[in-house]
């Protein structure tokens, strides 16, 4: 199914465009790409079963998801990314394909900041155990 970018004037509302990697895949769906003005609040909606229908069904069936990517953008950017598909740009899928090990998920840092790993100080401190 082809998704088309919205016609008419461009969407100018800024927010976050994000992709969730589904574990396990839900039928043919391996990813969900969405938009939210407040990324942490939108992810919380998904976790509480109040997000997209796809993530609601994933929860109902006992599945989970990991945040694979997030970038500032508009709904037009969300439509562009959906058109291109997520598997090729999913760092989790790419890591798993190369190593056979589960790929890393993004760690959500304080609002407005996205990190791909915990702060270096914690990694260098042998007294800190990371889950």
**How do residues 42-99 score in pLDDT, each as one tens digit?**
999 999 999 999 999 999 999 999 999 999 999 999 999 999 888 888 888 888 777 7
**Does 32 score more than 80 pLDDT?**
yes
Please report whether residue 24 resides in a domain. Answer: yes
* Both structure tokens of 57: 């069904």
Q: What is the pLDDT of residue 61?
A: 93
**20 CB burial (10 A radius; 0-12, 13-18, 19+):** buried
**Does 122 score more than 70 pLDDT?**
no
d(CA 65, CA 117): 17
Please report whether residue 118 resides in a domain. Answer: yes
Q: What is the pLDDT of residue 77?
A: 93
* Both structure tokens of 86: 């997520």
Q: What is the pLDDT of residue 124?
A: 41
Please report whether residue 25 resides in a domain. Answer: yes
Please name which of 106, 102, 81 lies closest in space to residue 93, comparing C-alpha atoms. 102
Kindly report the number of other CB atoms within 10 A of residue 66's CB atom.
17
Please report whether residue 117 resides in a domain. Answer: yes
Q: Which domain holds residue 76?
A: 15-124
Please report whether residue 129 resides in a domain. Answer: no
Domain count, the chain: 1
Please report whether residue 131 resides in a domain. Answer: no
Please report whether residue 50 resides in a domain. Answer: yes
d(CA 114, CA 127): 25
Q: What is the pLDDT of residue 39?
A: 94
Judging by DSSP bridges, how do beta strands 15-26 and 29-36 pair with one another? Answer: antiparallel
**Does 7 score more than 90 pLDDT?**
no
Please report whether residue 80 resides in a domain. Answer: yes
């Amino acid at each position: 199914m082809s998704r088309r970018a919205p016609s008419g004037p461009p969407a100018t509302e800024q927010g976050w465009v994000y992709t969730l990697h589904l574990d396990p895949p839900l039928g043919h769906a391996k990813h969900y790409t969405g938009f939210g003005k407040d990324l942490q609040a939108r992810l919380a909606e998904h976790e509480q079963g109040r997000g997209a229908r796809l993530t609601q069904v994933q929860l109902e069936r006992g599945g989970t998801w990991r945040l694979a990517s997030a970038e500032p953008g508009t709904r037009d950017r969300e439509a562009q990314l959906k058109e291109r598909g997520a598997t090729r740009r999913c760092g989790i899928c790419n890591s798993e394909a190369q190593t056979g090990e589960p790929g890393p998920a993004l760690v959500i840092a304080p609002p407005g900041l996205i990190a791909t790993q915990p702060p270096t100080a914690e990694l260098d401190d042998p007294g800190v155990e990371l889950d």
